[in-house]
Amino acid sequence: MIRTPSGKNLMNEQEAIQWLLDNNALPFQCTADYVGGAEIGLGTIVNPTPAKVRVGSLIFFADSKVSTVIAITSNSFICSEEYNDLVDDIVYVSNVQLNASGHLIVTLSNGTDIDAGLIKQVSGFSINDSQHLIVSYNDGTTTDLGAIFSGNVNIAGNFTANSIIENMAGYNFTEITVSNAEINPIYAGVVKNGNKLTLVYAFEFKKTDTMAGYNQLAQFGIPSAVGAKLFPITSSLLDRKRAYCVGLDGATDTDVQVYLSKFSNTVLTLNSTDLNSLTTGNKYYIRYEVTFLLSENLAA
């Protein structure tokens, strides 16, 4: 024992260790579960040290309970009926799960739920106009995974599928009001299959009075990249043909001249100069269809 100039006593290392051993200051770990008031073998004490289990010693049991020794025998010890359960004293994670909104919910042992936020999950895949694979996530973000292939794709043998649907974004149809006529659109459509573009317009027509010689019937909107591959016959004329008219309600079948013009790379117009020749008051069913190749111009 060393006395300092201020009169305090200091223990050296050996004396301090001995004091801890003599005053039950060291807890013991036990491989057995806690049983209050029963004899528990001293052989269940883990890594015994020079310290001896004695009355007042703290024992940490395998089932997370802690109690105090109240009696000692030659080969066993007995603990108090009172104990602390470390599981009750220390909050821990009891469950982790994703809720219906994709949020990670952490449940603690005390019943508290913690929302750890949205867990990023894949919600779908798509291929854009550049043939890149796009992955979409549930938080609204996307990632471009790059081109799904480069160059040409060659398939040896036959290729079959239930249906092949091409992306038809950028196409639209607008009906044009014609003076002194009643027009009832039946069907209007545009289909692009590979290097072919087909336009169809079918409608019921009835002249109510004398009409002008030239009438615009409808307008098709198309993507600019497609329109750039349509080559007019003249400055704007793409197609001119006789469209067959089926006479309805006893009217006589006939035909009319129909023109398709390229107003711009994104706008095509359907026109006619023959509608005034149809009988006033009679109803007709008129259908126009045309197909264009969009392959490279071999004559260029």
Dump pLDDT digits (tens) for 213-254: 999 999 999 999 999 999 998 889 999 999 989 999 999 999
Please give the average per-residue pLDDT across 279-288, as a whole number.
95
Q: Tokens at residue 291, please? A: 């197909």
Which residue did the predictor score with more confidence, 181 or 149?
181
pTM here?
0.50
Please give the average per-residue pLDDT across 4-20, as a whole number.
62
Query: What CATH code would you report for 8-87?
Result: 2.40.240
User: What confidence category does residue 20 fall into, taking pLDDT thresholds of 50, 70 and 90?
Assistant: low
Please give the average per-residue pLDDT across 18-36, as a whole number.
77
Which residue did the predictor score with more confidence, 198 or 53?
198
Spans of all domains in the chain: 8-87, 91-118, 172-293
Q: What integer best gives the mean pLDDT of the chain?
A: 86
Task: Give yes or no for residue 260 having a pLDDT over 90.
Answer: yes
Are the C-beta atoms of residues 95 and 64 closer than 8 Å to each other?
Answer: no
Q: Percentage of residues in the chain with pLDDT exceeding 90?
A: 50
Quickly name the fold that domain 172-293 has.
Answer: Immunoglobulin-like (2.60.40)
Residue 3 has a pLDDT of 52
Task: Give yes or no for residue 2 having a pLDDT over 70.
Answer: no
